A and B are shown apart, each in its own frame.
Chain A
Amino acid sequence: MADEKQNGKRWVGASLPRKEESRLLRGLGKFADDIKLREMLYLRFVRSPYAHARIVSVDTSAAEALPGVACVLTGAEIAAQTQPFIEIGPGPAQNIKDYPLAVTRARYQGEPVAAVVADSAALADDAAELVQVEYEALDPVMDAEDALTDKSILHEGAATNQVWNGVWEFGDVEQAFRDAAYVVNIDRMHFHRFSSTPLENNVVIGQWDPKDEHIYYQCNNSFPSFAVQFLSSHLGVPIDRIRVQTADIGGSFGIKITSYPQMAVCALASKKAGGRPVKWVESRSEHMVSSAHGNERTFRKTRVALDRDGVITAIDSHHIDDCGAYPRYEPLGCVIWSQVFPGVYRFKNARIDFTQAVTNKCPVGPNRGYSRMQHLWFLERVVDICAHQIGIPADEMRLKNYVRPEEFPYLTPNGCIYDSGNYPKMLEVGKKLIGWDDWKAKQAAARAEGRLIGIGIGTTLDSGTNNFGQSQIVNPYAPFSGNSQGANCKLDIYGEVVVAVGSCPQGQGHETTAAQVVADVLGIHPDKITVRTGFDTERNVHTGFSGTYASQFAVSGLSAVHGAAQKLKAEMKRLAGHVLETTEDDLEFGSGEQGPEVRAKSTGKSINYWGLANIVNVNSAVLPEEMYDVTLNCRYVWRAPFKVPDKERKYGQLTLTYASQLHIAVMEVDRETFIPKILDYVAVDDCGTVINPPIVEGQVYGATAHGIGAALMESCVYDEVGNMLTSTFSDYIPITAVNMPKVKYGHVCTPSPHSYSGAKGMGEGGAAPIHTISAALQDALYASGVFIHDSFNNADSIFRVLAKKEGGQLAELVKLEKRAQANGATK
């Protein structure tokens, strides 16, 4: 009997082409903007040209008078009929009033102030120009450290710009500093603001059905379960009456999680327009000024203690995060970084004082590598600058400090459990791929000629499957903990295997990997399995955590799919055992002459899937009463085995799996043009058991490109009064193929003991290129007295530190104290 496995191997792990490919490559994908509904209206936002201003008046009369305009909404009108959005932060942050349109004050350039709805998009653009808004400019606050002085307050109710503060302290930090052989002091480092620029911008179609007060969204939000929780309380509509549907999505990278304010406006506009569907398609410039940016973070007064061998024994630092004008998903980022508290390193003593502030910039949203990449970049900078200061090569420094392979599962100082990993092995693979010794020799020769060549290593973690209990560390009253995902697997009437999951993929190939998992359970070909595209609350599959974010589908999504498939298989066995008059042990699954079937080994009799489905669905008189509970329509909810963390100690298991990445870059800075060029690049990846190698490799390349772009090209820049200077692709430069080096890909596999398949969530990639490129540039420019203190380095910024001696000078920013204990180092 053919089992339709590949030469007897499992489908999980096979390089199966993506099921999505044909549809997407032939232009047959269905994206939100492809949807056109009868009587549909088009929405355009009127946006604040000021970063900070009091709204004196909004006159909508001229816009409303324009023929073809259905209605105009203002912030005041929305505030009168809704509750402010939920604030996650505690204390004063609870008094921040966040409405989807500015009510009395605009707090960033591009903030929506009014919304115009018309018969066509062009007409909506015309009408938006007719809305007259009178502003009174206020002092803008453009820097998080300035914001914390509270000289100009953004949110009157909160009475402070500080959203959150907390201290993480583990071990005996002061003792470690007393015992240190070396202490390195770093005055200031800065992780810059950038975004993700998905190919498809935000799109929402919202319809408020007046007959039953039911809202129907077709959109590309990437975390609908979160969005509906925010929308339900804001709009005062029971959550079951809010349907959210997604189809194909052209990338999110986390940025589309926070589109719920625009979703609210579309629903309210539809309500005002008598229930006609309202579509909003974000333009690129709108996306750049007001969708969401990644978190910006400043690291102040960092002290690092090291022993005489260069082993880091303690870190003490102050981190200030800038979340833009409204916290929204924040202050979750204030705890999410601590999933990777010690990074890939073994130090036990650390104190991190973490503060978050609001500023007059676009609100942040979870951006690929969310909150952890800033911290991992900080740790990698610390490791590299300490190595340079003490004179230890970058590779040796890492081997001295990495968590060791035999220490897994590794308990971090803050109670996280690193499931598996082998960082020295990744370094070995990376060094071999890049030709480490050759490059070291070439570097020495080039330096003798006066060329500026650097070799940098970036080691990073991609923590996946969050314990939402960490929200209670930022707010003890937060009603969230654990994590879950739902899936449904059924045999439909004619025996089709149909799978639905609570994820909303944006290019991660969920249809393919879900089919691979079910194919292995049932012993049939993945082509015989239909996986529903996109997300739909009315499929009744999802849980409160459903969506696609935070590097978790391989664990949470596929565990749910696996559970549902097993549940279905168990029902099929019971039924087949009855029909074939044999025991369940005697049954085997596979494919026969009449397609997928279940077969009795003893008699050779079989029943195909149609036969089984027929009995349950349309021939149920033959179903024995003791099998009335068999539905062949099996929903399964997978739950991560988490406990609520210790809120006081900020201690506990915050994530389930830890994929790791190690990148190596060789870079040269041109002495005349100052252009940094990548001469060679390696990306080594470990995400445990790989479900589908090309899909993993594709995401590694994508994350690598994203990180290289962020390190060298992509930066959201504001001037001192809050004008966003990078609102188009003429000024914000997303990376393209032209800018990409050839990437050498390497793979290491340490299966996770925390997931059923050994897979770890991946996709975000920990922003390894940002750490790696900073490291390579630091190596190239250390001898020139330059400290790479910023995560963004383009030709111009390198020119300014190298030729003009501005800002990032090593002697000013980094101080080494060498103690008596340093003598007699054993290295």
Chain B
Amino acid sequence: MYPRSFHYHRAKSLQEAAAMLAQLGDQAKLLAGGQSLIPLMKLRFANPAHLVDLNFIAGTSYIHSEAGVGEGGYSETGVSEGGVLRFGALTRHAEIENSALAATVPILHDCAAGIADVQIRNRGTIGGSLAEADPSGDWACVLSTLSTEVRCLGASSPERVIPLSEFILDAYTSALQPDELVSEVMVKIPVKGSGGAYLAFKRSAPVYPTASAAVQLTMEGDRCTDVAIALGCVGLTAIKAKDAEAALRGQTLNDKALAAAGEAASAAAEPQDDMRGSADYKRALVGALVKRAIAIAARRAHGEQVEVSHIYA
């Protein structure tokens, strides 16, 4: 199938793109990586009258590290503990996958390297993924375990910075105004002694996961002092599993604590039946994934290098 005909606009700057959105109204869609939009257009499920292409705007694809305020400068990895990683909105998943800077926060690499397949990672962008707010989007799940803010730029409003927890409102619904777009994603670098992992079960590379679990925790010895757990693909948005976090916080990480966290995660999930699996199965699965992600995150928190791959059917 071919998309319905549409007008194509190539923006020269993010400001111009925002202005085009304001001018063209709700019949316009932004084209970033296009990995969700183009298939929907080809199936004619999405039929925008105007496409505003962001791909030719210089300086929108980057990964920068910035020292944290009051922190002691850069470590030998080039990353400032307590500092911030800044991703240009059009930074491709593959650039993050292959970035040594991003790899210093292992959960970011887990996420980027596990998105779909090479072709999709070469096109899809971090900003597009968050703005799309797909319930199955990997970035929204992973970044909600880190302190993440989204910088937004509008045609008529001043630039604003929105915490990720307030940016994604519902399935396919973000806090963006009609003439606003994402310009940058800012992720706070976890403190020393913190480790994370992202694990999904996928039926094949290009499809969204059946369920996924993101865990970022801080260890002191074998005790977990702080933890963030998010569940993907089991609700209308990524779900923060607060009871599962509570089951770990301040606890020694043993089988009992892991089981309690897994059970709490299963209870927090709000999955639906679909071809990826029945709701009951997804609930059971996400608990198991959380337990495994905790175990990997804890090893990483202790400084161990652990390679992680999603589980494929």
Which A residues form the contact surface with B (CB < 8 A)?
121-122, 125-126, 129, 283, 285, 670, 672-675, 712-713, 717, 725-726, 728-731, 733-736, 738-739, 794-796, 799-800, 803-804
Contacts and interface: CB of A to CB of B under 8 A. Distances in A.
Interface in B101-154: none
B281 A125 contact: no
B207 A795 contact: no
Interface residues of B, number: 31
Residue from the set A125, A673, A733 with the largest chain B CB neighbour count within 10 Å: A673
Interface in B1-51: 1-5, 43-44
B204 A674 contact: no
A739 B284 contact: no
B281 A795 contact: yes
A674 B205 contact: no
Among all A-B residue pairs, the 3 with the closest Cβ atoms: A672-B288, A122-B2, A731-B275
20 contacts: A129-B44, A285-B1, A285-B43, A673-B285, A674-B285, A675-B201, A675-B313, A713-B203, A729-B204, A729-B207, A730-B207, A738-B204, A739-B313, A794-B313, A795-B277, A795-B281, A796-B278, A799-B285, A800-B278, A804-B280
Nearest to B202: A738
Given A122-B5, A794-B313, A803 B208 contact: no
A800 B1 contact: no
A363 B313 CA distance: 28
A803 B280 CA distance: 10
Secondary structure at the A interface, as helix, strand, loop or mixed, is: loop
Query: Taking each of B207, B275, B289, which has the highest tally of chain A beta carbons within 10 Å of its own beta carbon?
Result: B275
Contacts of A726: 275
A125 B44 CA distance: 9
Contacts of B210: 795-796
A795 B311 CA distance: 12
Contact of A673 (B43, B275, B311): B311
A422 B25 CA distance: 73
Contacts of A731: 274-276
A729 B206 contact: yes
B204 A799 contact: no
Nearest to B204: A733
B240 interface: no
Contact of A739 (B44, B204, B291): B204
Contacts of A735: 204
A733 B2 CA distance: 23
Contacts of A675: 201, 311, 313
Contacts of B44: 125, 129
B281 A796 contact: yes
A719 to B, nearest CB: 10
A803 B281 CA distance: 9
Interface string B195-227: 000000101111110100000000000000000
- Secondary structure at the B interface, as helix, strand, loop or mixed, is loop
A730 B311 CA distance: 17
Contacts of A713: 203-204, 313
B51 to A, nearest CB: 15
Nearest to A672: B288
Contact of A725 (B203, B275, B284, B311): B275
B99 to A, nearest CB: 23
A791 B207 CA distance: 23
Nearest to A736: B204
Nearest to A124: B2
A738 B310 CA distance: 11
A334 B99 CA distance: 58
Contacts of B313: 675, 712-713, 733, 739, 794-795
Residue of A672, A712, A728 most packed against chain B (CB within 10 A) = A672
Interface in B173-213: 201, 203-208, 210
A795 B286 CA distance: 13
A794 B203 CA distance: 9
A726 B203 CA distance: 13
Nearest to A670: B288
Contacts of A739: 204, 312-313
A580 to B, nearest CB: 62
B275 A717 contact: yes
A282 to B, nearest CB: 11
A548 B252 CA distance: 65
Given A729-B206, A736-B205, A800-B278, A674 B284 contact: yes
Contacts of B3: 122
A739 B288 CA distance: 21
A495 B3 CA distance: 53
Contacts of A734: 204
A803 B287 CA distance: 14
Contacts of B277: 795-796, 799
A169 B245 CA distance: 65
Nearest to A730: B207
B1 to A, nearest CB: 5
A792 B267 CA distance: 29
Nearest to B311: A675
Contacts of B288: 670, 672-673
Interface in B202-261: 203-208, 210
Contacts of B208: 730
Contacts of B278: 796, 799-800
Contacts of B207: 729-730, 733
A69 to B, nearest CB: 15
Given A673-B288, A729-B204, A738-B205, 12 more contacts: A122-B5, A125-B2, A670-B288, A673-B284, A673-B289, A712-B313, A728-B43, A730-B206, A731-B274, A739-B312, A800-B281, A803-B284
A804 B281 CA distance: 9
A622 to B, nearest CB: 62
Nearest to B47: A129
A650 to B, nearest CB: 40
Contacts of A283: 1
A729 B43 CA distance: 13
Nearest to A732: B275
Contact of A125 (B1, B285, B291): B1
Nearest to B288: A672
Contacts of A670: 288
Nearest to B282: A796
A804 B277 CA distance: 14
Interface string B296-313: 000000000000000111
B177 to A, nearest CB: 30
Contacts of B275: 717, 725-726, 730-731
B204 A672 contact: no
Contacts of B284: 672-674, 799, 803
